[in-house]
Amino acid sequence: MAGIVSWGAYIPKYRITVEEIAKVQHANPNSIKNGLGLVEKSVPGKDEDTATISVSAARNALLRTNINRKEIGAIYVGSESHPYAVKPTVSIVGEALDIGNNYTALDTQFACKAGSGTIQINAGLVDSKMIKYGLSIGADTSQAEPGNALEYSASAGGAAFLMGPNEEAVATLDATLSFTSDTPDFWRRALQSYPAHAGRFTGEPAYFKHVVGATKNILEKTNTKISDFKYVVFHMPNGKFPLRVAKIFGVTKEQIEPGLIVKKIGNTYSGSSILGLTCVLDIAKPGDKILVTSYGSGSGSDAFIFTATEKIIAAQKAKVKTTEDYVKRKEYLTYPEYEAHMEQIH
Amino acid sequence: MFRKSPIIRWRSYGDRYKLHGHKCTKCGTTYFEKKGMCICGNLEFSEMDFSGEGKIISFTQIHSGPESFSEMAPYCVGIIELKEGAKITAQIVDCKYEDLKIGTEVEAVFRKFYKSGEKGIIHYGTKFIPKL
Ligand SMILES: [Zn+2]
């Protein structure tokens, strides 16, 4: 099967704290921090959007390798905040990456799993030998209506994975499957600036049913136990939901904490579970098994099992910014500054 | 650089998106924009890519610039000397004016330049940030 040949993360510099938003919403910041399990979120720069975040993450992925970038045969960018309603993000990204013109490309959308799904597409294309390398990208500058509960968590960031032949992989893709159903938990109609959601309904029949369903199925199908994994990542709409899934499967703190990036940057939507994966790839050792299950409202989950190879050591040593480098780089905004930043993404 | 036509802008994607440049085949001097003749008198150039790393050799803060950039104001603009020698004028972002110095090391990033009104094309290109 195909594997991850390289990976790259990107998180904008700006942050806003739960306290700062709670002041405006007249809410108690401590109960929100406890309820959501996060303290602050990332905010895009005024000149950043899904295209620029995708380019930054993908450039980091390419910096780690010395492949001939003209051999990249496919790029997919998954997002729910593509800059245009009509005109692809992905061709802007391909142009900025200078990979020539001989590649297939599509923007994808499936709420927060628009990025993870493109890993499956590229793995299929690599395995069938239609392409040598493919770039899978998930990125968002997610929108939340001022005053809405989502305002505390909807953040910005993205991750990119260069998929390619297993012999070159830093992490082999050992198995992947999905769990999908028509579930009306979260949506945004055409021409609307902000998404709508079904409140508490977003929990049990939506997030939990799909994440648990996909995870259970992949464990059964591959005859694997949770204890076989060094790292486990579940989609992170907040800091609480993934911990509840962890409890269901008996995932330990040691397994889930390294990828639990939501606590520091919020929910980066299409970037969320895959930024959890870049956190783990930044530190994984050869032989470590990694379980990732994404979630996209509407609804579906993609589950993946990866195993890190010897090649990950050299890839980690490359002079490329890590996920943690971006988490640490930050500048706090006041609420009015935050509003000015968010105005630019529409 | 600030022209409104999407087609005129499209013709310069090579320079603006990717920092392509030109290198004198005789003395090796690099240029960001295409020159007719090198300072050494040579007329031939080869194409090259800049690394995107450089340092600030001059900078200022703009409070009221062209209307297309008003959303970013106040913002910093500087002359950057790229590692390969060529100089480029560009916005320096993700920083405060007070934090910049002559000699500050910077790196290229891909960012939005401006939007052509409510309905037009979104223009992208290279800006610089202080080195992480
Ligand atoms: Zn010369």
Q: How confident is the model at residue B1 (pLDDT cuts 50, 70, 90)?
A: very low
| Strands of A156-164's sheet in order across | A104-108, A72-78, A133-141, A156-164, A3-10, A171-180, A300-308, A289-293, A231-234
Q: Indicate the average pLDDT of chain A.
A: 96
B-chain residues near A45 (CB < 8 A): 93-94, 111
Q: How confident is the model at residue A198 (pLDDT cuts 50, 70, 90)?
A: confident
Domain ranges of chain A: 3-170+313-341, 174-310
What pLDDT is recorded for position A234?
Answer: 98
CA of A69 to the centre of ligand 1 (A): 30
| Number of CB atoms found within 10 A of residue A54's CB | 35
| A174-310: in CATH 3.40.47.10 | yes
The answer to whether B110 contacts A59, with C-beta atoms less than 8 Å apart, is yes
What pLDDT is recorded for position A346?
Answer: 66
Listed in order, strand segments (DSSP E) in A109-201 are 133-141, 156-164, 171-180, 186-187, 196-197
Mean pLDDT, residues A55-69 taken together = 96
Report whether pLDDT(A112) > 90: yes
Strand partners, A103: none
The answer to whether A96 contacts B111, with C-beta atoms less than 8 Å apart, is no
H-assigned helices in A191-322: 209-222, 241-249, 253-256, 262-265, 272-281, 311-317
CA of B80 to the centre of ligand 1 (A): 20
pLDDT in tens, A199-250: 767 778 899 999 999 999 999 999 999 999 999 999 999 999 999 999 999 9
pLDDT in tens, A276-324: 999 999 999 999 999 999 999 999 999 999 999 999 999 999 999 999 9
Domain ranges of chain B: 6-130
Q: List Cβ neighbours of A204 (8 Å cut-off, separation of 6 or more).
A: none
The topology under which CATH files domain A3-170+313-341 is: Peroxisomal Thiolase; Chain A, domain 1 (3.40.47)
Using CA atoms of B50, B52, B55, B56 in order, give the dihedral in degrees to the nearest 10. Answer: 100
In chain A, the percentage of residues whose pLDDT exceeds 70 is 99
Report whether pLDDT(B2) > 70: no
pLDDT in tens, A185-197: 888 988 888 888 8
> Which chain B residue is nearest to residue A321, measuring alpha carbons?
B132
What pLDDT is recorded for position A186?
Answer: 86
CA proximity to A270, closest of A17, A50, A105? A50
- Tokens 């939340």 belong to which residue? A144
Chain A within 8 Å of B17 (Cβ-Cβ)? yes
> Which chain B residue is nearest to residue A86, measuring alpha carbons?
B121
Common-topology check for domains A3-170+313-341 and A174-310: yes
The angle at the Cα of A191, spanning A145 to A146, to the nearest 5 degrees, equals: 10
The answer to whether A45 contacts B71, with C-beta atoms less than 8 Å apart, is no
Report whether pLDDT(B5) > 90: no
Q: Is A134 helix (H, G, I), strand (E, B) or coil?
A: strand
Answer yes or no: pTM beyond 0.90.
yes
Distance CA A6, CA B33 (A): 33
Question: B30 with B36: CB under 8 angstroms?
Answer: no
Report whether pLDDT(B74) > 50: yes
How far off is chain B from A52, nearest CA to CA, in Å? Answer: 5
Nearest by CB: B72 against A47, A96, A325: A47
Mean pLDDT, residues B1-14 taken together = 63
DSSP letter at A166? Answer: G
Q: How confident is the model at residue B9 (pLDDT cuts 50, 70, 90)?
A: low
Mean pLDDT, residues A34-39 taken together = 95
Choosing among B20, B96, B99, B111, which should be mutated to test the A contact, i.e. which has the most A CBs within 10 A?
Answer: B111
pLDDT in tens, B83-97: 999 999 999 999 999
Distance CA B32, CA B56 (A): 16
Choosing among A47, A63, A322, A323, which should be mutated to test the B contact, i.e. which has the most B CBs within 10 A?
Answer: A47
How far off is chain B from A20, nearest CA to CA, in Å? Answer: 21
**A144 against A1, higher pLDDT:** A144
B-chain residues near A55 (CB < 8 A): 110
